Amino acid sequence: MAAAEVAEAQPDAPAEKEKPSLAMRAAGAAARYAEGYVQLAQREAKRDVQRVAIGVGMLVIAAVLCVLAAVFAQAFLVALLLEFGIKPVYTLGVMLAGDVLVALLLVLTARFFLTRPLLPQSRKLLRETLDVLTGV
């Protein structure tokens, strides 16, 4: 009988494990679900940052190369067109048209990389979750 009294008096004795309540289980499920959102958003953000960095990097490199190429091309064209006897005003017009064409091509290339939406999957999941929570 003394052993039974000692076992009852010990708070460290293994008691029957309580099952978590429905609210606790729902909170745990919501936390895991939110963690999935965060992980997805982090992966998407990493991809989008890389994509935007590539687009911006291409713009910077293209701008530097365009400046160098424009200087050399314009000097060459001026010499060539003047050699053929074309008036300097027309020579400047040809150079301007070429510069505008190159700039347009660069802008279109940069637009390709920079216009896609950011975090598309995360935004879709968030929208669906908000719809469920608001009852829409």
Q: What is the pLDDT of residues 28-85, one digit of tens each?
A: 878 888 888 888 888 888 888 888 999 999 999 998 998 898 788 778 878 888 899 9
Question: Which residue is listed with tokens 């017009």?
Answer: 93
Tell me what pLDDT residue 128 has. 85
Q: How far apart are the C-alpha atoms of 83 and 77, rounded to whole Å?
A: 9
Which CA distances in Å does 29 have to 24, 26, 75, 111?
A: 9, 5, 69, 41
Tell me the CB-side half-sphere exposure of residue 74, using CA atoms within 13 A.
Answer: 17
Q: Where are the domains of the chain?
A: 79-112
Higher pLDDT, 123 or 108: 108
